[in-house]
Structures are given as C-alpha cells and as structure tokens.
C-alpha cells in the first residue's frame, strides 16, 4: 500500500487494515493523534474506510506514562499481515526484547505492509533499517542524533514526510496533520477537511511546511561572530542589510564574514540571507491570507516579480501555486525541490 494513493471508496470495498504498535512510553495523546482521525473518517464518511487494531510487542497491556494500563488486541509476533503498521512511541527507549521487535518489523515489511512512525516510532523504524534512503521528518531537537546514528536517511526539517509506503512525523501535532493528509490523499480532501473541523482545526498543515525552530536553537551552535551575524539577519528581514553593513555590525571585515559563512555553513552570506527571507515568506504564504505582493515586500524583495522569480528558483514552485497547494487540505504534500545551500538546520528536504 502507498500512503499517497487513493483507496477503493466503493460502498462494498473492504476497509484498510491499520495496525498500531504501541511501544512504551506512549501517551493517550500520541494514540489519539493517530487513531482518532481514522475513527472520525469512518463516522463522517458513512462507511468503514479503516479498521484500526492495537497491538503490543508481547500482547500484554501497555503502561501509560500518567499511570494505568491500556489493553491491546494482540501481540506483534502473531501479526501475519496488514495494509499498514503504525509504530507509536513518545520516544525511543532501549528494552530487553529490542532485537525481537526489530526482527518482527523487518518480517512484516517483507509481506508488503506500509509503515508509519510518529516522533518516537520513527526511531524504531530507522533502527530496523526500514527508512534507508527515504525522506524522513524528524524533530529539530533530534537532527544531530539522526545524522550521527542514521546517515543513510534523508533527513527533513518538515512537519511530516510521505515517501510512497513510508510516513514519518516530527511531533504529535504534526502526526495529526499527517493522518488528516492521509485521509485527503486516500479518500478525499473534503472528508479530511470535515474531520479537521471535528478537532477544531481551521486548516490542515501540509507536510512540506517547516517546523517552527527557535532562533536561539538555530544560532547558538555557531561561533560567536557568526551567531551575531545571523541574529542581525533575523532582525532585518524587511529591509535587508548589505554584507558590508552586517560585517560592520558584528565588528569584522566583509572577508572575515564570508569566510565564517563558508567554513561553517558552506554558503555566502548574501545567499543565506535570501534563503532566510524566502523561508519566512513561505511561512506567510501558507499560513496567512496576506497578499503575495505584500509578503514579498515585507520579506525584503523589491517587487512582486523579483519575489516570484526568487521564490520559484528556490522552491521550484511559484508563491501562488504554493498557497493553492497548502489550501487543498493536505493534498500534494511532497516536498518541493530545493536548491543547494540550504541553511544547515533545515536539511535538503
């Protein structure tokens, strides 16, 4: 099964068999972000599109972080096949039967199941080798861990990634958006929108949106003078400064500034600055109804045509097309093409 392909929506068609593997620690909030959208899709759609089953590694009830235990309907080793397996976990923890769990995940992959992981579940899938050479959304705090432990992954600082039969989310909130995106792709955008309204959401965030990363987290890892330069850029998006002005602000020469950027970010200051402004513009394009021309001007572009040209060159899509895609309640979630030289905390995805 592919997550991005429509399913048979005829009234007599069998539902998709979705199994959710609970690997502690896993909270009710995590479980709800995964299961509730499917339950609501069945209710609002007037038929069973999805059959959702809970399993644990050994079939025993799963301990909840706040106390209590959650009963499941089976054990992972007894699972012969399913259309999709969702690995749900708040964080990856070492367990005594870890080797067995990874072996079972590989076995189920061999029978053709699609896989999905939330923030912690993704780590389990990566450890099993089921995400090799795939686009994988990981939380910005965990980028370094994944780069060191799993260099074979194509890491993305997006909300979630839908790569054919592999699906990954960077956070619990992104997991909810991701499941709504699945419903939009597999059944219909209208049904997904109706389900979103049940959760009080006025829009479904598309997977290609960037995670909100605190500026201090993006900047503090760099040498002091480079960090100062990045803060100057962050504070002057509407009226961009020249490289000479930025260098003067931080007390170094332009040549030293360019050397710092090249050594640490492998990019020229001017190019980084433009990409920073384009990333900010994209947030406004997909999250607000502000006019596209006004967004371009507020992000330091001299005209609408200049903004549109730079936007398309960087993202591979025009601002208007990007906004249209974002309003289709999750359709077209694939990541737009990117140019080289992306800021280091936002990988090539």
- Which CATH number do you get for residue 57? 3.40.50.880
Q: Would you say the pTM of this structure is higher than 0.85?
A: no
Same domain, 31 and 129: yes
Collect the ranges in the chain with pLDDT lower than 50. Answer: 329-348
Asked if the structure places residue 8 within a domain, the reply is: no
pLDDT in tens, 142-158: 887 888 899 899 888 78
> pLDDT of 198-253, one tens digit each?
999 988 998 988 777 666 666 666 788 888 888 888 878 888 999 999 998 889 99
Q: Which helix (H) or strand (E) holds 173?
A: helix 172-186
Q: How many independent structural domains does the chain possess?
A: 2
> Residues 187, 223: one domain?
no
Cβ-based neighbours of 298, under 8 Å, separated by 6 or more: 237, 238, 284, 290
Which range marks the domain in which residue 269 is found?
215-326
H/E run at residue 154: strand 154-156
- Does 5 reside within a domain? no
CA distance 113 to 2: 9
Q: Is residue 266 part of a domain?
A: yes
* CATH code, domain carrying 288: 1.10.10.60
Kindly state whether residues 170 and 295 are assigned to the same domain: no
């Amino acid at each position: 099964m592919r997550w991005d392909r429509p399913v048979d929506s005829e009234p007599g068609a069998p539902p998709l068999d979705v199994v959710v593997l609970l690997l502690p620690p896993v909270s009710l909030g995590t479980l709800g972000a995964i299961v509730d959208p499917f339950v609501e899709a069945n209710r609002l759609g007037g038929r069973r599109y999805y059959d959702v089953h809970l399993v644990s590694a050994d079939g025993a009830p799963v301990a909840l972080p706040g106390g209590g235990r959650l009963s499941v309907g089976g054990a992972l080793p007894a699972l012969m096949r399913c259309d999709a397996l969702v690995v749900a976990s708040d964080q990856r923890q070492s367990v005594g039967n870890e080797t067995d769990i990874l072996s079972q995940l590989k076995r189920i992959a061999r029978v053709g199941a699609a896989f999905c992981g939330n923030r912690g579940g993704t780590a389990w899938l990566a450890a099993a080798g089921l995400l090799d050479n795939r686009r994988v959304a990981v939380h910005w705090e965990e980028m370094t861990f994944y780069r060191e432990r799993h260099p074979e992954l194509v890491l993305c600082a997006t909300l979630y990634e839908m790569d054919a039969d592999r699906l990954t989310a960077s956070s619990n909130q992104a997991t909810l958006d991701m499941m709504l995106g699945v419903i939009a792709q597999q059944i219909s955008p209208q049904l997904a929108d109706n389900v979103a309204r049940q959760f009080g959401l006025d829009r479904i965030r598309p997977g290609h949106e960037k995670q909100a990363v605190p500026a201090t987290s993006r900047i503090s890892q760099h040498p002091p003078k480079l960090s100062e330069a990045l803060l100057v850029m962050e504070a002057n998006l509407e009226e961009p400064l020249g490289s000479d002005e930025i260098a003067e602000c931080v007390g170094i020469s332009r040549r030293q500034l360019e050397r710092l950027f090249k050594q640490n970010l492998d990019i020229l200051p001017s190019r980084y600055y433009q990409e920073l402004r384009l990333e900010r513009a994209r947030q406004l394009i997909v999250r607000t109804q502000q006019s596209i021309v006004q967004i371009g001007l507020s992000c330091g572009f001299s005209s609408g045509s200049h903004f549109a040209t730079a936007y398309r060159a960087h993202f591979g899509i025009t601002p208007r097309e990007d906004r249209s895609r974002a309003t289709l309640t999750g359709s077209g979630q694939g990541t737009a093409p990117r140019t080289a030289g992306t800021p280091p905390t936002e990988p090539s995805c």
